[in-house]
Amino acid sequence: MSDVTIHINVCTDNAAFDDTADIELARIVQDAVQYVNAKESISRRLFDINGNRVGQIKSYVDVDKYDD
């Protein structure tokens, strides 16, 4: 089994986060995690509900970590 490290960076200083930041953040993260898998590293931009870039998600896979 591979070791997967996930980094999520979201800047919440725009209007999409003014009223309900937790709901918008949850929407962004739920959308982003669908791309993470244990077979390959990924890097994707994250966008708010208005289409503005607000960060990125990166996952790193170490396939050798558990090899004998």
Residue 32 has a pLDDT of: 92
- The per-residue pLDDT for range 2-46, each reduced to its tens digit, is 688 899 999 888 888 888 889 999 999 999 999 888 888 899 999
Residue 39 has a pLDDT of: 84
Residue 68 has a pLDDT of: 47
Residue 63 has a pLDDT of: 64
Secondary structure of the chain in the HEC alphabet?
Answer: CCEEEEEEEECCCCHHHCCCHHHHHHHHHHHHHCCCCCCCCEEEEEECCCCCEEEEEEEEEECCCCCC
Q: What pTM value is reported for the model?
A: 0.77
CA 51, CA 58: separation in Å to the nearest integer?
A: 19
